[in-house]
Amino acid sequence: MNAGGDNAGGFRSGYVALVGRPNVGKSTLLNRLLGQKISITSSKPQTTRHRILGIKTRPGEWQIVYVDTPGLHKRGGSALNRYLNRAAAAVLDDVDVIVFLVEALRWTEEDEMVLERLAPVRAPVILLVNKVDKVKDKRQLLPFLDQMRHRREFAAIVPGSARQGKNLKALEQEIISRLPEGPALFPEDMITDRSQRFLAAEIIREKLMRMLGQEVPYHLTVEIERYEETPRLVRIGAVIWVMRPNQKAIVIGKGGQRLKEVGIQARRELEVATGRKVHLELWVKVKEGWADDERALRSLGYADE
């Protein structure tokens, strides 16, 4: 582990990719580093479907532009899965620093796949060994960290916990010391490049991901059809697209109860996010095979960036 460059000199700024297999904690890490939620989370893999920028600025010193990516995974399958892998891999050649997340005491085939994908990249790779709060016997960590050192020459290895915010200051220092000198890339009060409209769709999808069983969440997406703002009120109309009629029934729930609960939870969070009252209307519609249709994917916002 080297200690990185020294931070004397001018303003530093750069792009930092957060990469790893699905469900390893990338979005939780981004939200924790920014001190606010811009990336949705759930216990299900593949919750993140889009590249999301999270911008953190210390005026006069540095600006880190974090790039949250979908998890790199082995399932080839549908056009949506191929898009997710493309979105995750595309950022690797255009960033200044990469943070590779793995779970403490776990190494999977998908971790190995990410490691192979990182082999040719020129940017320094910092390894974050995440979820150390879940390791009961901390003595087990040392052999695991030693194994990691032998997998590749990492710029630094940081054990920590995104969920608890543990050791993230040390991670941030490792990142800052490796950023190039240069001007800020975004205005200093900007937190993300994504619109309120995009964030609204993501918040609705998060509530669905958390409330539904194993299969349905991967077969649905959310499209905002209407987003109107007044000084006191935001009116949002959203369509939840599913692939099959039986999935529509599952999303709506008995007597419409599940859809109603999704609406209540999403509206509460949107009111906090916008600082205004929110009037939210949800519809569930069927678009058969949308996840395996490149044209349908593009029309629903899954375009290569």
36 part of a folded domain: yes
Same domain? 150 vs 122: yes
Same domain? 23 vs 172: yes
Same domain? 274 vs 170: no
d(CA 241, CA 243): 7
The residues of the chain scoring below 70 in pLDDT are 1-9, 43-49, 70-77, 83-85, 87-89, 214-215, 217, 302-305
The confidence score (pLDDT) of residue 159 equals 97
Which one-letter DSSP state was computed for residue 290? G
- The token duo for 59 is 């005026």
For the domain that residue 270 is a member of, what is the CATH number? 3.30.300.20
Same domain? 205 vs 270: yes
Domain finish residue from 116, 142, 176: 176
Domain finish residue from 146, 176, 206: 176
Same domain? 44 vs 131: yes
d(CA 267, CA 124): 41
- The token duo for 131 is 């979820």
Which of 265, 163, 254 has the alpha carbon at shortest distance from 210? 265
Same domain? 172 vs 204: no
Paired residues of 192 in beta bridges: 54
Domain finish residue from 145, 176, 207: 176
Helices 196-211 and 257-274 pack at an angle, to 10 degrees, of 140
- The token duo for 57 is 């600025």
25 part of a folded domain: yes
pTM over 0.75: yes
d(CA 171, CA 227): 38
The answer to whether the beta carbons of residues 126 and 100 sit under 8 Å apart is: yes
2 part of a folded domain: no
Domain interval for residue 215: 196-299
d(CA 213, CA 251): 10
275, amino acid identity: G
Same domain? 83 vs 129: yes
185 part of a folded domain: no
305 part of a folded domain: no
The confidence score (pLDDT) of residue 82 equals 73
d(CA 191, CA 155): 27
Same domain? 205 vs 118: no
d(CA 213, CA 36): 27
For the domain that residue 153 is a member of, what is the CATH number? 3.40.50.300
- Which residue carries 């290569």 as its tokens? 304
187 part of a folded domain: no
154 part of a folded domain: yes
Same domain? 24 vs 163: yes
Which of 192, 199, 183, 190 has the alpha carbon at shortest distance from 271? 199
In order, the DSSP letters of 85-122 are HHHHHHGGGS-SEEEEEEETT---HHHHHHHHHHTT--
Tell me, rounded to whole angstroms, the distance of Cα 131 from its chain centroid.
Answer: 16
The answer to whether the beta carbons of residues 98 and 124 sit under 8 Å apart is: yes
Same domain? 127 vs 71: yes
The confidence score (pLDDT) of residue 47 equals 64
Same domain? 151 vs 213: no
Same domain? 168 vs 24: yes
- In order of 19, 43, 149, 167, 206, the CA distances from 126 in angstroms are 10, 24, 11, 14, 29
- Which residue carries 């210390």 as its tokens? 58
The answer to whether the beta carbons of residues 236 and 274 sit under 8 Å apart is: no
Which of 171, 190, 205 has the alpha carbon at shortest distance from 63? 190
Total domains, the chain: 2
The confidence score (pLDDT) of residue 294 equals 76
147 part of a folded domain: yes
- The token duo for 265 is 């939870």
d(CA 305, CA 291): 18
d(CA 188, CA 14): 13
